[in-house]
Chain A
Amino acid sequence: MDPRELRYAESHEWVFEKDGIATVGITDFAAARLGDIVFLELVSVGSKVKQFEKLGELESVKAVAVIFSPLSGEVVAVNEALKEEPDLVRKDPFGESWLVKLTADDVSELNNLMSFQEYQEFISRQEG
């Protein structure tokens, strides 16, 4: 996935929407900051979530991070490979290590999210 084509939440999730199906993951910035990821818990397939509601939890050695859904919709797939090896999230956050796919109820919600450029500025402010 090309990071420049994604939309971003302030809580460091990305989303890629195509034909009404939204793929969700966390950003490389967030993954690097979490460190070794040891546990991942995601809502199950069929769950309905609202935008910015809890989608699951990631735990690293040092911290627990809540994952929020960047869009509203129904979960149609979760990345099973990550259940076995949650640390894969860090390896390829924009590709193999997506977290869930959901049906996008309302694509206009994408306007509540940041563009790549905006997200870059957002994290550089955070770092500074």
Chain B
Amino acid sequence: MQKDLITMKRTPLYQEHIKLAANMIEFCGWEMPLNYASGIFQEHLATRKFGGLFDLSHMGRLLISGEDALPFLQYVLTNNVEALEPGQAQYTIISNESGGAVDDAYLYRINHQQYMLVVNAANTEKDWQWLQERKERFRAVVLEDRTAAIAMLALQGPRSKAVLETVLGGDGLRLPGPTRNTITTVEIFGTKVPIARTGYTGEPIGFELFPPAEIAVPLWNTLLEIGAREGVVAVGLGARDTLRLEANLPLYGHELGNDGEGKEIPLFSGRLAGNCISFARNKGYYIGREALANQFEEVKLRLQGLLDKPKADQLVPRMIMPVAVLGDGVARAGCEVYLNGALVGRVTSGTVVPFWRVEGKGVASKPGAQSGKRAICLAYLDADLKEGQELLISVRDRQLPAMVVSRHLGSEAAPYARPILVEDQDKAVASGARKTLEGLAHSLVRKTLDNARWRQRATINLIPSEQTPSPLVRLLSISDPAGRYAEHRIVKALGEVETYYYQGTRFIAEVEEELAEQMRDFLGCSQVETRPISGQMANTAVFSGLLEYLNRVDRTAEPRRFRSVMNHFIGMGGHLSSQPMGALRDYVAISPLTGRPAVVNFPWSLDNPWQIDLDRTAQLIAEHKPELIILGKSAVLHREPVSEIALMIAGMRPRPTLMYDTAHVFGLLGPYFQQPLEEGADIITASTHKTFFGTQRGIIASNMSKGTDAFELWEAIVRRIFPGSVSNHHLGTLLGLLMATYEMNAFKDEYQRQVIANAKAFALALKECGFRVEGDPGIDFTETHQVILRFDYAKGIEVAHRLEANNIVVNYQAIPGDETFTASSGVRMGVQEMTRFGMTEPDFQELAGYMADIVLAGRDCPETISRFRSRFTEMKYCLSEEQATPLIEALLAHF
């Protein structure tokens, strides 16, 4: 052990580590805690289940500002700095000319003027020299080493957010996020402290804090004291290393820099290269660009199976891969790895890490009470090796069996990071005993009846995206045109009539025409397309049709995508189908500036995250000039500001297309809610089975009439439905939808009024009972069919399961502040289906009382709920049972 105390540097928290009886070691010239009293394993485990607090003040913190900060950073770093908005952060590399790493780093854009680069303690001096020398060619760059003036703490793990919320006096929305790589400045102890959603542990929830050195000690102690109530402990460098290794994160000197044989590791050997090395046009020339581009070309050829260079001439012959040790023993950095007796690489990092065994299934799973240990490593291996390859690692005089795995840890399901064990990766499928066809049919029908009785007679259904269609609608949906085809399109040469491809379609042609007529009547519009069989298909067809229209000027050129789209952020209730991860994916361009899909989210108002901030929206529209603006949400409490946005874009040339996906609120469109086409939306899409009366289909509508410029766009959209999307447009449910639309048009007024009145009464009663109801109390929390409740962080899942066990069916919902659906704090409910079964305001007040009993008082009452439900089993807002019965009997007779 080295004991050269005189020259060792100490962080502002040195005395705190001594008080905590830390095992202090020398690390890159700093005297740092390797571990505290409980040891590396306990610190690792505590971080994964509760949280860990780290002193990272030994890392280098460099501030970069000045007029030429951006071109300077673009020149010395590999990632695209221009893609960083103020308040964002990115992983990046300080690269050398040969395409290797001088260091890896995190770049934070604290505000418009200032960037902070956090570098490894081992390299701070080298990086400083490197950057100083390369700064000369830039006119106005201010580079400051603020390592001593600014401390750095990390708080990582599932409870880290709760701890910081408490420190901030309960205001969690002031924290950065919920997405990673965001940074905001908050006030703590009257001092401004930048806090980022970044970390080096693989925890899906984690923060790094950059307080002035003067408040490092009180901040550390406050976090530790409040954290202790949540199980958070201080964590030293030992567990920092095991956590990062488990998370498959590289460490300079191991996975970056030189390999064990003294050769430089090319950056494209690393898993993160694709995310942190940019070749964007606006990135321009930077140190190492040419070498990196050559590496990238070779990696692409390998992926396509086209690489035929001999190994010795390859630029990226090896890749860093996660490897699990299968035998008894520990592989360490430097150990050689063999396949069939041939050396295929070396371990770069390896040790034993502890893990929690997971309890429960699916979204309800979490770290259990039992822990285990496993030997894992990262290795620099022959790039042709594939996941699942078994290998031998040479450890002193023994050969340890090992396997290349995809990863050691799953971090995508917040709030917990879960271990991925080799035993989980290859599960045998159990084969059931074979049954006869009749036996199978009996069993299936019995289960179907059980489910139907439960959902139709014994439970209160509050899923806001569902509806039970009336018995007549359901029966019509499975009557004869079901199972048939009726492809058709308008052929201009044949006199602009719908031309059918098959015979036997007279009836369905009539139905389709009548449905269009009824829908035009419902919406008060001139155009509807009824063939999409889902709302998502309707959206896809609109995106595709709009692009076809935009590309019409030159049909011989490669068609382009939307240059910019504005939509709702999914974490704020945005529809999946308007996200790049959903239906938008193939239609939106990758921004040449950021390398990411060119999507801008509506900003939300700070005092009500469920509403759009219109002032900032106007700014963003002016700045990004979206070609398509998509309104509409799946967690929706308010009318959308259609007329306000229509006004903002009215003078723009070219004017963006304003689309409103009314999926959830389609059945509410009218005077009690809103009428988007009258308010200025160009086009609406919807699903017909949420607040509308079913069946499960999609629809597109507009006022792009014949004789207007827009008609050409409408025709393009219709073409993208047929022949673009459906050849069989589910004729049975089309027939059912016609009946449902008759019902809607007959009862629209009373139904819509009752749904909104019920939702408001339900919200108020829930509030009265002590629930935290989301939304604006000034409008009784909702203007739609939805009511959203907030529970403690990530507890929405538990509440939803508890209500289900008591025969109330709701869905858990990520609400503002949650990272993803697995961390849902909310529960989303809709009153539309139970309104159809005849529930009115007093009934919803009664239901609120039962829910308080179940959730707040912890009393189970499934039978009470079933009895309550038995009062509401006859469908309303349609033919009465007496009127419908003879029709139903007649239909069944011809089945």
The answer to whether the Cβ of A18 comes within 8 Å of any Cβ in the partner chain is no
Task: Tell whether, in the assembled complex, residue A61 and residue B40 are in contact, meaning their CB atoms are under 8 Å apart.
Answer: yes
The stretch that binds B, out of A35-43, A68-76, A111-119, is A35-43
Chain A interface size, as a band, is 10 to 19
- Please name the 9 residue pairs, one residue from A and one from B, whose CB atoms are nearest each other, closest first: A38-B352, A36-B41, A61-B40, A36-B40, A39-B330, A59-B330, A36-B39, A61-B351, A35-B40
Query: Could you say which of A35, A57, A59, A64 contacts B39, with CB atoms under 8 Å apart?
Result: A35
Contacts of B353 in A (CB 8 A): 61
* CB under 8 Å from chain B, chain A span 12-64: 33, 35-36, 38-39, 41, 57, 59, 61-62, 64
Contacts of A59 in B (CB 8 A): 330, 352
Q: Mark A87-128, 1 if CB is under 8 A from B, else 0.
A: 100000000000000000000000000000000000000101
Q: Give the Cβ gap from B666 to chain A, nearest Cβ, in Å.
A: 58
Q: Give the Cβ gap from B35 to chain A, nearest Cβ, in Å.
A: 6
Q: In whole angstroms, what is the CA distance A38 to B41 when docked?
A: 10
The answer to whether the Cβ of B197 comes within 8 Å of any Cβ in the partner chain is no
Q: In whole angstroms, what is the CA distance A36 to B42 when docked?
A: 9
Task: Tell whether, in the assembled complex, residue B238 and residue A62 are in contact, meaning their CB atoms are under 8 Å apart.
Answer: yes
Known: A35-B34, A36-B41. A61 touches B352 (CB 8 A): yes
Q: Give the Cβ gap from A29 to chain B, nearest Cβ, in Å.
A: 12
Q: Give the Cβ gap from B345 to chain A, nearest Cβ, in Å.
A: 21
Task: Tell whether, in the assembled complex, residue B352 and residue A39 are in contact, meaning their CB atoms are under 8 Å apart.
Answer: yes
Q: Give the Cβ gap from A58 to chain B, nearest Cβ, in Å.
A: 11
Q: In whole angstroms, what is the CA distance A57 to B352 when docked?
A: 15
Contacts of B352 in A (CB 8 A): 38-39, 59, 61
Residues of A within 8 A of B (CB): 33, 35-36, 38-39, 41, 57, 59, 61-62, 64, 87, 126, 128
Q: In whole angstroms, what is the CA distance A41 to B328 when docked?
A: 10
Chain B interface size, as a band, is 20 to 34
Known: A61-B40, A61-B41, A61-B351. A35 touches B330 (CB 8 A): no
The answer to whether the Cβ of B242 comes within 8 Å of any Cβ in the partner chain is yes
Q: Mark B315-355, 1 if CB is under 8 A from A, else 0.
A: 00000000000001110100000000000000000011100
Given A38-B330, A61-B242: 14 more A-B contacts, CB < 8 Å:
A35-B39, A38-B351, A38-B352, A38-B375, A39-B329, A39-B352, A39-B375, A41-B329, A57-B396, A59-B352, A61-B352, A61-B353, A62-B40, A62-B351
Contacts of B40 in A (CB 8 A): 35-36, 61-62
The answer to whether the Cβ of B222 comes within 8 Å of any Cβ in the partner chain is no
Q: In whole angstroms, what is the CA distance A126 to B352 when docked?
A: 28
The answer to whether the Cβ of B373 comes within 8 Å of any Cβ in the partner chain is yes
Contacts of A64 in B (CB 8 A): 330, 332
- Name B354's closest neighbour in chain A (CB-CB): A36
Query: Could you say which of A35, A41, A126 contacts B238, with CB atoms under 8 Å apart?
Result: A35
The answer to whether the Cβ of B191 comes within 8 Å of any Cβ in the partner chain is no
- Name A59's closest neighbour in chain B (CB-CB): B330
Task: Tell whether, in the assembled complex, residue A35 and residue B35 are in contact, meaning their CB atoms are under 8 Å apart.
Answer: yes
* CB under 8 Å from chain A, chain B span 355-388: 373, 375
- Name A32's closest neighbour in chain B (CB-CB): B23
Interface majority SS (helix, strand, loop, mixed), chain A: mixed
Q: In whole angstroms, what is the CA distance A87 to B330 when docked?
A: 14
Contacts of A62 in B (CB 8 A): 34, 40, 238, 351
- Most chain A beta carbons < 10 A, residue from B34, B35, B351: B351
Task: Tell whether, in the assembled complex, residue A38 and residue B373 are in contact, meaning their CB atoms are under 8 Å apart.
Answer: yes
- Name A126's closest neighbour in chain B (CB-CB): B1
- Name A90's closest neighbour in chain B (CB-CB): B39
Contacts of A36 in B (CB 8 A): 39-41
Q: Give the Cβ gap from B333 to chain A, nearest Cβ, in Å.
A: 11
Q: In whole angstroms, what is the CA distance A61 to B238 when docked?
A: 8
Q: In whole angstroms, what is the CA distance A57 to B329 when docked?
A: 11
Q: In whole angstroms, what is the CA distance A57 to B397 when docked?
A: 12
Q: Give the Cβ gap from A13 to chain B, nearest Cβ, in Å.
A: 19
Contacts of A41 in B (CB 8 A): 329
Q: In whole angstroms, what is the CA distance A59 to B238 when docked?
A: 14
Interface pairs (29), CB distance under 8 Å: A33-B1, A35-B23, A35-B34, A35-B35, A35-B39, A35-B40, A35-B238, A36-B39, A36-B40, A36-B41, A38-B330, A38-B352, A38-B373, A39-B328, A39-B330, A41-B329, A57-B396, A59-B352, A61-B40, A61-B242, A61-B351, A61-B352, A61-B353, A62-B34, A62-B238, A62-B351, A64-B330, A64-B332, A128-B3
- Name B398's closest neighbour in chain A (CB-CB): A41
Contacts of A87 in B (CB 8 A): 41
Q: Give the Cβ gap from A35 to chain B, nearest Cβ, in Å.
A: 6
- Name B239's closest neighbour in chain A (CB-CB): A61
Q: In whole angstroms, what is the CA distance A59 to B1 when docked?
A: 17
- Name A87's closest neighbour in chain B (CB-CB): B41
Contacts of A128 in B (CB 8 A): 3
* CB under 8 Å from chain A, chain B span 19-63: 23, 34-35, 39-41
Contacts of B41 in A (CB 8 A): 36, 61, 87
Q: Give the Cβ gap from A56 to chain B, nearest Cβ, in Å.
A: 12
Q: In whole angstroms, what is the CA distance A57 to B373 when docked?
A: 18
Contacts of A126 in B (CB 8 A): 1
Q: Give the Cβ gap from A81 to chain B, nearest Cβ, in Å.
A: 16
